[in-house]
Amino acid sequence: MNYRFHPEALREFQAATIYYEEQQRALGERFISAVQTAIDHIIASPLSGRILEEDVAAI
């Protein structure tokens, strides 16, 4: 399954990655890895989250 970020979410993700990398070396990479792990979980089990709104779920 493919996924894509909403343009605003992508900008926020990129800014957060830069921020974390500026705070501590390799922290940005760890952040990217954590986000990818969450995305992989959602793709593997899209119905496992709690429904917050009609088209929004929390994992």
Domain boundaries, the chain: 7-58
Which pLDDT value is given to residue 46? 83
Rounded Cα gap, residues 42 and 58, in angstroms: 9
Res. 40: pLDDT tops 90: yes
Cα separation of 51 and 16, whole Å? 25
Length of the chain equals 59
Q: Does residue 33 or residue 3 have the better pLDDT?
A: 33
DSSP letter for each residue of 1-59: ------HHHHHHHHHHHHHHHHHSTTHHHHHHHHHHHHHHHHHH-TTSSEEEETTEEE-
Higher-confidence residue of 6 and 47: namely 6
Is the model's pLDDT at 13 over the cut of 80? yes
Question: What was the pLDDT predicted at 39?
Answer: 92
In the numeric block, the tokens 């959602």 are attached to: 42
How would residue 38 be classed by pLDDT, with cut points 50, 70 and 90? very high
pTM value > 0.75: yes
